[in-house]
Structure 1
Amino acid sequence: MNISELLHDAVDGIEPADRLQDIRERTANPQRAAARPWFYAAGATVLATAAAVTAFAVLGDDSATDPGPAHDGHGQETFLVPAYFVGDTPRGERLYREFDEAEGHDALDAALDRIQQPPSDPDYTTPWPEGSFGDVTVRDDGIHVDLLEGDLTDELAVQQVVYTLQGAAGEPLPVWFWREGQRGSSPVSALPQNDVLSLMSISDPAEGNAYEGSMIARGRANAYEATVVWEVRRPDGETVREGYTTATGTGDKLYGWETEVDLSGLAPGEYLFVAVNPDPSGGAEQSLLFTDTRTITVR
């Protein structure tokens, strides 16, 4: 399965979808070389399966001949993948998404490897150290991944794996976890987005991007009246640009938003781009707002 097959239109009804050529054009732009805007990711809960696997059951007669997940042996390639990481929100820890280039046997392998490495955004973390997973494959009944280290008692950590692999696959397939040749008793599906994802998320710019003149910011949100407020701040916290845009909807998931940010006239240097849900209380509940940030450089 190559990246063109993975980036198909199966999730057009789930989220706005950028086309692969558009992504390549953005990442080829020297002013946006680090940008990885891509909205292919699964999030709909369409499978009535267990939300977490905490025990591995011995299978029937077939288990003796089933080696579990395995790659087909071809070499490493570089893939553009979605990677979910853990970050703080007003409602406790939730998942945020980055788009990164990673190496692997295929897009699933690359995405799984990515979440075993430190995230690009220092505000995020990952509970999965390198060596946590082995092989990962897609079968008729879902995605199968070999768990080498750690356990599945941390529901958010499990959802991090599920959302990442479903995003790489381009469809909400259930995820089966294996350990030492034994498959878990039931697969895991993605929990509702509003329950596990930050309600404000920046997809583009990527952390550390550099721009001249202007930039396009994109992300996903479930915001009050679909309104996304944004600011550009100096390192000392002073706001030098501000505005708002509108997400494509409100409801039981996150919706895409996009805006052009004028950076003309700003002195070259480092700035913080901030996207935040508006406060319907008129300022009384600022500490409860969902926020995401990216450090950018103005040339």
Structure 2
Amino acid sequence: MADDTDHTGDDQALRRLLEEAVADVHPPDRLIEIRRRTRRPARPQRRWLPVVVGAGAATAAVVAGAVLVGQLGRSGDDGPPVAEAPQDRAAAVYFVGEVPGGTRLYREFQSVPAASGTEAVTEALARLESDAGPDDPDYRTAWPAGSFGAVSVTDHEVVVSLNQPATRRPAGIAPAAARLGVQQVVYTADAALGRALPVSFEYAGTAARRVLGTSVPGPVDRAAQDRTVAPVNISDPSEGSSVDADFLVARGTMTDGVKKVDVLVQNLDDPGSSSAISVTVPGKAIQDGTLAVRGMLEWEAQIDVQGLGAGRYQLVVRAVRANPMAPVPMDSRTFLVH
């Protein structure tokens, strides 16, 4: 069913977000530009287009959980102040997606109101509920609408109060995806805070022992990345981004077991008009300030869009495997060229 919601205001607000960086603990969360899509395009047969490898990722500024973007202007020294533009922050929100042989967490950046601490976690967790959810149609969430109540943050843990819908496993959610849904909260809360804290769940004023139908005996720690995070993840561009420059800089992460990725572009409006072209991009160690993040690498590529016609395109990033017969983890984003 088509989405008739008018997202024009969202698009205009998100285009005001400038290139900045946000920091998660493992791995750092980066933002180049956040733009929400207006609709989810169909995915026809692929046309592959050339990709140019970039010179390397720029060093990201380290901030505690969010980048705040806002402006306060004046019409002149003697004039009245111009109304302050609403501030936004880039929230790294984790969703469930498919990988060969199972499911893992994929990170997606969404623009939310500026906040820190408890409010930042509350805003980010609200995006996990099914009536908000991911921008990328390949992702999904295990959390039904109305799952979360109050949130509190102490020096030692995050306490999340649940409503009744969150105590049972939703229809259509497999047990493995429900268990991963618990980690959706842990990873998303860590990203909002910029540090790793265990998450305790409560229901009706007492410790919740069943979360999404999954047994939770106590506070939940962040699970190991190699068993939880997708082997390949696109950070930039965001789903539905518009490209107004000669090059689109694409960035993302990979687990250190991948080492290299193939970066490709397909034309969604004119499939089958050219053959596949692939460029291999090596991963590089992530540096979060002076902290080297273990277990993850980052990749970057510059895509020359000068020769592309206006239309819808899809960026596809695939892991390079030593065994060509092995299943290939991948991620994708749709972007627009005007």
Match of 1:64 in 2: none
Once the two structures are TM-superposed, the CA of residue 183 in structure 1 deviates from its matched residue by 2.6
**Are 2:231 and 2:258, in contact at CA under 8 Å, matched by a contact in 1?**
no
SS at match of 2:200: strand
The match for 2:9 is: none
2:325 corresponds to which residue?
284
Distance 1:135 1:144 in 2: 8
Same amino acid, percent of matched pairs: 32
Q: Distance in 1 between matches of 2:114 and 2:23?
A: 23
Q: 1:77 to 1:177 in 2, by over 3 A?
A: farther
| Paired residues, number | 244
Matches within 5 A, 1:24-35: 26-27=32-33, 33=35
Map of 1:122 onto structure 2: 137
* Segment drifting more, 96-105 vs 81-90: 96-105
Q: Which residue in 2 is equivalent to 1:138?
A: 153
The structure-2 alpha-carbon separation of the partners of 1:297 and 1:39, relative to structure 1 and needing over 3 Å to count, comes to: farther
Are the counterparts in 1 of residues 22 and 64 from structure 2 also a CA contact under 8 Å? no
Give the drift of 1:277.
Answer: 0.4
Structure 2 unaligned regions, length at least 5: 1-20, 38-59, 66-85, 169-174, 209-216, 287-292
1:86 aligned to 2:96? yes
Counterpart in 2 of 1:150?
166
Q: In the TM superposition, what is the alpha-carbon distance from 1:255 to its structure 2 partner?
A: 1.8
TM-score, normalised via structure 2 length: 0.64
Correspondence 1:244 to 2:280? yes
Unpaired stretches in structure 1, ≥5 consecutive residues: 1-6, 43-75
From the superposition, tell whether residues 242 and 263 of structure 1 become closer, same or farther in structure 2 (CA, over 3 Å). farther
Higher helix share: 1
Question: Which segment drifts farther, 124-133 or 217-226?
Answer: 217-226
Partners of 2:231 and 2:255 lie apart in 1 by 5
Residues 77 and 155 of structure 1, relative CA distance in 2, 3 Å threshold = farther
- 1:186 CA displacement: 1.9
8 Å CA contact 1:192, 1:253 repeated in 2: no
> 2:93 and 2:275 mapped to 1: Cα distance?
30
After superposing on structure 2, the runs of 4+ consecutive aligned residues of structure 1 that deviate more than 3 Å are: 7-11, 14-18, 32-35, 37-42, 76-79, 237-242, 249-252
Alignment TM-score, normalising by the size of structure 1: 0.72
Mapped to 1, the partners of 2:90 and 2:133 lie a distance apart of: 16
Determine if contact 1:38/1:99 at 8 Å carries over to the other structure: no
**Does residue 1:15 correspond to 2:27, yes or no?**
yes
- Flag the 1:204–1:107 CA change in 2: closer, same or farther, 3 A: same
| Counterparts of residues 1-299 of structure 1 (less than 5 Å) | 11=25, 14-16=26-28, 26-27=32-33, 33=35, 78-103=88-113, 106-116=119-129, 117-148=132-163, 149-151=165-167, 154-184=178-208, 186-211=218-243, 212-222=245-255, 226-235=259-268, 236=271, 238=274, 242-249=278-285, 253-281=295-323, 283-285=324-326, 288-299=327-338
- The answer to whether the 8 A contact 1:41-1:163 is kept is no
CA separation in 2, counterparts of 1:225 and 1:86? 20
